[in-house]
Chains A and B, each alone.
Chain A
Amino acid sequence: MGGLSAATGGRRSQREPSKAPYYVLLVLLAIFAIGPFVVLLFNSLKTNAEIGRNPLGPPLSPVFENFPTAWSQGGFATTMVNSAILTVGTVVGVCVIAGMAAYAMARLDLPGTDVVLLYLFVASALPFQLFLVPLFFLWSSLSLTNTLLGLIIIYWAIFSPFATLLLRSYLVALPRGFEDAARVDGATELQILLRVILPLSWPGFLTIALVSGLGAWNEYFFALTFIQDNSLKPVTTSFNAFQSNFSRDWGLTSAAGIIIILPVVALFLALQRRFISGLTAGGLKG
């Protein structure tokens, strides 16, 4: 394109417009997006007294005490473990549930696949307002409130429809030859799924693992509703309680915030393309 406009430049009175204004605006938007995280990092390194003198600027005398204090006062030794259990349980369950269902729809000639697909589209778009109230009282009567398993089952139900749809579109595109060969050799469908399909489709599984893992780690609303016991709370709900108790101590709050987002930041920067493609596909689900 550049070569073309240079070649025709003599004849055209209009020059190729400069890209500089775009870059200026894009940098401003990037500052808008990231600036608040910089403030979070700055304030996590300040004493409460320094925040009073210098609310949002860079720390003049950085201190690291906020991190151990926030860790112990925020009960992170407990809540991190709870969040890890919720996240791992959700990821494993969603991969199993969605992997089996996607395989059945893509490969086993499931009768009525169109109806199931439509149901999954609808189910993944249903608002929580529609099922929350009876679900809560059903979970109470099954003694599943105040248990991590009860919350994990809810996450399975919420994240699986989308994961199934994404994985199915991935499996449909895979060549069938290998599984037919395995079938002729007398392998069961479960063996085919584990030994043939899984090794071929791991990028699809990685994407649904990232999306559902992120969802479980960040989830606030169902955790708030279904877990009251402090010893079972994940990082999100315990952070919010902590933050309201220490709302004037922005140093401690910021350090706690950094602790929560650090695993996500690390994983996101390592696997940004897969995150972005998986999540934008999620936005286009409904």
Chain B
Amino acid sequence: MEVNEQTLRSAARPGSKDASAGRALRRRRLLSAWLFMLPLLAVNVLVILGPSVATVYYSFTEWSGIGPAEWVGLQNYTDILSDGDFWSALSHNLLWTVIFLTVPIGMGLGGAFMLSQITRFQMIFRVLFFIPYVMASVVNAAIWQNILDPDRGIGSTLALLGIPWLEGVSFFGSQALALPAVAFVDNWHWWGFVVLLFLTALQSVDKELYEAAKMDGAGRWQQFVNVTIPGIRATLVFVVLMTIIGSLLVFDYIYIITQGGPAGASEVVGTLMYKEAFARFEAGYAAALGLGMSFLSGLIVMIFIYLRRKGWEV
């Protein structure tokens, strides 16, 4: 190995008789470097960067998706601000954010903490918790549509056992329950993933800190608050950030299960945008909605970076 590096170095030394060969070698490497990058950059520009830039332009136009786009300035944005459907959808995104900042993060922290305290069967629990996350969203959704079916689900099963309260309740079909019910299903597929993120972080927390806390007479809860939470702060902040952004942009489970219904009860901005573009052919308006939501999530990332620069411990 050393011999080879020696050979390379002498080949590249200026003034030696191999200098031009060395330059040719470097040129060849530079050329191959960019050639090797080309496929990645090409598909990325074609699918993501180019259309993202186009979204900025189309958001200022009236465009059906076919034919020419007509420049309308800020019209789409002022329309959004006076669109009742948008504000209703955005309020559902905010409710979604609150649910996902509490339930899966709470389950994730608790689950990861308990897993870190045991050794036997830990791997089995990890695998079991993770399974819903790797299964297709459409199948996960169908399973819960079956379990929460008003006539052939949990309600009628409990009724057979003499507990009639849930019989005939249509979780996804009721205005009041649709959004929390979809959030429940989405959380069911998500929380196990959060457990594993936290568990990875927990395993790097110094075990001696727990021992020291125990010596000082700290109970389980005090250990959790004073050792666990500070030890995984970076991951916790990351998960909170990812949750907020994910909640602003949420789409899949809602679209699969309720399509935003009934009567807009589970509509979020993501599903609204999809309908504007592909059902109402308001592509310009949809572009403005998409850009607005992307801008909002970018803004939140910026705020976090800014606070961290300012020395906040977030």
Distance (whole angstroms) from the CB of B186 to the closest CB of chain A: 13
Q: A110-B33, A239-B138 are in contact. Are A133 and B290 (CB under 8 A)?
A: yes
B40→A100 contact, CB < 8 A: yes
B82 is an interface residue with CB less than 8 A from chain A: no
Task: List, in ascending order, chain A residues with CB within 8 A of B114's CB.
Answer: 22, 25-26
Interface residues in A1-40 by Cβ distance below 8 A to B read 1, 14, 17, 19, 22-23, 25-26, 29-30, 32-34, 36-37, 39-40
Task: List, in ascending order, chain A residues with CB within 8 A of B134's CB.
Answer: 214, 218, 264, 268, 275, 279
* B: number of interface residues (CB 8 Å): 97
Distance (whole angstroms) from the CB of A50 to the closest CB of chain B: 11
Task: List, in ascending order, chain B residues with CB within 8 A of A111's CB.
Answer: 30, 33
Specify which of A110, A131, A286 is in contact with B47 (CB 8 Å cutoff). A131
B111→A26 contact, CB < 8 A: yes
B147→A126 contact, CB < 8 A: no
Query: In the complex, A183 Cα to B126 Cα: how many Å?
Result: 44
B196→A276 contact, CB < 8 A: yes
Query: In the complex, A51 Cα to B153 Cα: how many Å?
Result: 9
A153→B290 contact, CB < 8 A: no
Distance (whole angstroms) from the CB of A12 to the closest CB of chain B: 9
Query: In the complex, A191 Cα to B300 Cα: how many Å?
Result: 45
Stretch at the interface among A59-67, A154-162, A198-206: A154-162
A32→B188 contact, CB < 8 A: yes
B174 is an interface residue with CB less than 8 A from chain A: no
Task: List, in ascending order, chain A residues with CB within 8 A of B51's CB.
Answer: 130-135, 138
* Chain A interface size, under 10 / 10 to 19 / 20 to 34 / 35 or more: 35 or more
Specify which of B52, B129, B153 is in contact with A130 (CB 8 Å cutoff). B52
Chain A residue at minimal CB-CB distance from B207: A1
A133→B283 contact, CB < 8 A: yes
Task: List, in ascending order, chain B residues with CB within 8 A of A101's CB.
Answer: 36-37, 39-40
Interface residues in A107-162 by Cβ distance below 8 A to B read 108-111, 116, 123, 126-138, 153-154, 156-158, 160-161
Interface residues in B5-45 by Cβ distance below 8 A to A read 5, 7-8, 28-30, 32-34, 36-37, 39-40, 43-44
Task: List, in ascending order, chain B residues with CB within 8 A of A214's CB.
Answer: 134
Per-position contact with B for A62-79: 1 when CB-CB < 8 Å, else 0?
000000000000000000
Task: List, in ascending order, chain B residues with CB within 8 A of A240's CB.
Answer: 138, 142, 256
Specify which of A55, A136, A137, A239 is in contact with B156 (CB 8 Å cutoff). A55
Per-position contact with A for B78-113: 1 when CB-CB < 8 Å, else 0?
000000000000000000000000000001001100
Query: In the complex, A254 Cα to B46 Cα: how many Å?
Result: 39
Query: In the complex, A34 Cα to B51 Cα: how many Å?
Result: 40
Task: List, in ascending order, chain A residues with CB within 8 A of B242's CB.
Answer: 283, 286
Task: List, in ascending order, chain B residues with CB within 8 A of A17's CB.
Answer: 220
Distance (whole angstroms) from the CB of A169 to the closest CB of chain B: 15
Distance (whole angstroms) from the CB of B43 to the closest CB of chain A: 4
A126→B52 contact, CB < 8 A: yes
Q: A19-B117, A37-B131, A110-B37 are in contact. Are A129 and B44 (CB under 8 A)?
A: no
Pairs A–B under 8 Å by Cβ, sample size 22: A26-B125, A29-B107, A30-B129, A36-B144, A56-B153, A123-B44, A126-B48, A127-B297, A129-B294, A133-B58, A133-B290, A134-B50, A138-B51, A157-B44, A160-B40, A160-B44, A180-B4, A181-B4, A193-B36, A254-B143, A261-B139, A280-B193
* Other A-B pairs beyond A33-B128, A128-B249, A268-B131, 6, CB < 8 Å: A123-B44, A128-B251, A132-B290, A133-B277, A189-B28, A225-B278
Nearest first, the 5 closest Cβ-Cβ pairs linking A and B are A157-B47, A177-B1, A129-B290, A108-B33, A134-B54
